[in-house]
Structure 1
Amino acid sequence: MTEVWRDPRLGRVRTVELSAGTLAYHDVGNGPVLVFVHGYLVNANLWRALVPLLGDRFRCIAPDWPLGAHRIPLRPDADLSPRGVARMVTELLEALDLTDVTLVGNDSGGAYSQIAAAQRPERLGRLVLNSCETPWCSWPPGPGGFGLLKAAAQYPATHLALYQALRAPATWRWRNTYGWLAKHPIDATVMRSYVRPVLTDRAIRRDGRKAIASVSPRELRPAAERLERSPLPVLCAWAAEERVFPLGHAQRYARALGADLRTIGDSYTYTAEDQPRRTAEVLRDWICATPSAR
């Protein structure tokens, strides 16, 4: 089934019990730990070409976060607010007893990562913000028309109706689907793993709707203020051709955080998709050159 297909390069699939329910994750490689946090309506397949380029030097953990394209629904009462998803990130680190972790967040996964790092930084050594929300972005982001996702998610019927267009592959390149997130077309098998769960599984759709309905820039700004006072080393790894999260915002945020800023050419938001080799080089070089907060 395409809904549950994951690239074997991500490593063995495992599960862990968190307070919100069961989380599936992939685990491969040895060395310092990287934990990846993807955004809305994608899953661990986002990292499928990046992880093999890092697994020789790092242990790579790539979960399916419960953001609408995951395999295992959470409990119906699970908290999928921004703080609830961030809590899942920190609970995963605790459950697996991971320390000195480099947390890598892309798209809205970067927003969740910022909240997690501000709430519970004690198991983190570094933070990578990879083309994601900053304090000057809306959430959902305004460019591309992604605010419609939150509006439709206020009601189950409108949420379901909005996604029916994704049954047609031609819509996958629209700017308010994936066209402004990936510069180059994404493999069809991967795309089906992203879009079919929200179309076919009511419980998965419920989780994704709860997550996108609750996002707000008000949730991110307090976390950003705490990170500005934090000793945690931060890298802003940004797509040079970013369409959704302005590079100017990244430059401003990097100055506020005292962070490094590195750009990745020929890419939109999903740099791990468009330019996995360059993304791996940026991550590897920065991590190796940057002392951990631990």
Structure 2
Amino acid sequence: MERVQLTAGEIELLDTGGPGPVLVLLHGVNMDASLWADVVEQLGSDFRCVVPTLPLGSHTRPMERRDQVTHRGVAVLVGELLEALDLREVTLVLNDWGGAQFLLADGPTDRLAGAALVACEAFDNYPPGRPGKAIALSARVPGMLWVAMQLQRFHWFRRAPGGWGWMSKRPVPTEVMDRWFGPAQRDQEIRRDLSTFARSTPSRSELADLVGRLPSFRLPVLVVWAPEDRLMPREHGPRLAALFPQGRLVEVDDSYTLVPVDQPARLAAELATFVRDDVAAGRGSPGGQASRGDQGTG
């Protein structure tokens, strides 16, 4: 793991290096870069994968500027990361957390070549489902976030319906979840960062404004959705793809929200095809809407 200093503080990242097309892969709350381990392995040396651990509760160093640990602020940090590493022609990939859509809508986007939105927050689904709303609620009650994190020590709680059991169809390995929840269980400063982020959910009017601005992102966009997802409504996939002038939808069966966990090989193949075909070609003329025939299903 490498470290890079941003305005809010220092973050860790995995960078596979190499001359191939660059993918920057982003995770959600109480996860770290390891979410993408199987996808990165599948992509292999043909791609340069940069996978940061964002300050969303599984980071190991508290942020120096907690005021930036918000949905908008973390989106800004992603833009800073691209600049700090001098990454260009980047395909930005989101899963679960959808806040980086603020970067697509508001910029700067000069370092981007495309984006892939994989089963992520969209429209008014912030925070998503029961797990997201539980974290947001616990952040507002003194002491409750500590309790919520300590409960994640138990396997039965991790796989309980309505909680993390709805995040992936296949259990995340115990050692990985221990890594994800350990920082917030042990460190009060990490919990404060997580609490700040959880209480920063944009208002409905802010989210509506965001949706109105997303069509200004005219680069290729791949929307990957899981029809069985219990947190991200199925209808959000086609709606999200239709927002972008160069949007395209692919549905992946036998998966919940964490497609990188449930279907890493399929996701890696879809990302590779997207980068090699859609991004490389710019998907035709700027502003050309993808046809419905471009959609795929699992």
SS of residue matched to 1:290: helix
Residue from 120, 124, 128 that aligns with 1:132? 120
Question: What's the CA shift for 1:77?
Answer: 3.7
Aligned to 2:241: 254
AA in 1 matched with 2:213: R
Q: Structure 2: where are the runs of 5+ without partners?
A: 287-298
Q: Deviations over 1:8-44 (max 9, x none)?
A: xxxxx11111000101100004211100110001111
AA in 2 matched with 1:95: A
Provide the alpha-carbon RMSD of the alignment.
1.7
Q: Deviations over 1:186-242 (max 9, x none)?
A: 111101011111111111111111111112354443333222132121110112321
Aligned to 1:122: 110
Aligned to 2:36: 47
Moved more, 89-98 or 196-205: 196-205
Residue from 210, 216, 220 that aligns with 1:229? 216
Q: For residues 291 and 50 of structure 1, do their structure 2 counterparts lie closer, same or farther at Cα, with a shift above 3 Å needed?
A: closer
Moved more, 235-244 or 169-178: 169-178
Mapping for residues 1-294 of structure 1, pairs under 5 Å: 13-30=1-18, 31-108=20-97, 111-119=98-106, 120-135=108-123, 137-141=124-128, 143-144=129-130, 146-216=132-202, 218=204, 219-258=206-245, 259-291=247-279
SS of residue matched to 1:175: coil
Q: TM-score, normalised by structure 1?
A: 0.89
SS of residue matched to 1:231: coil
Retained in 1: the 8 A contact 2:99–2:121? no
AA in 2 matched with 1:134: A
Retained in 2: the 8 A contact 1:29–1:55? no
Separation (CA, whole Å) in 2 of partners of 1:284 and 1:221: 32
Q: Deviations over 1:91-124 (max 9, x none)?
A: 000101111100000001xx12211122221111
Q: Deviations over 1:49-76 (max 9, x none)?
A: 1101113211000111000011221115
Question: What's the CA shift for 1:156?
Answer: 4.3
Q: Deviations over 1:156-185 (max 9, x none)?
A: 412212222112121111234311111111
Q: Structure 1: where are the runs of 5+ without partners?
A: 1-12
Separation (CA, whole Å) in 2 of partners of 1:51 and 1:202: 32
Retained in 2: the 8 A contact 1:128–1:234? yes
Retained in 1: the 8 A contact 2:27–2:33? yes
Separation (CA, whole Å) in 1 of partners of 2:59 and 2:163: 17
Separation (CA, whole Å) in 2 of partners of 1:283 and 1:221: 28
Separation (CA, whole Å) in 2 of partners of 1:67 and 1:77: 11
Q: For residues 81 and 171 of structure 1, do their structure 2 counterparts lie closer, same or farther at Cα, with a shift above 3 Å needed?
A: same
Q: For residues 97 and 145 of structure 1, do their structure 2 counterparts lie closer, same or farther at Cα, with a shift above 3 Å needed?
A: closer
Q: For residues 145 and 193 of structure 1, do their structure 2 counterparts lie closer, same or farther at Cα, with a shift above 3 Å needed?
A: closer
Separation (CA, whole Å) in 2 of partners of 1:53 and 1:240: 23
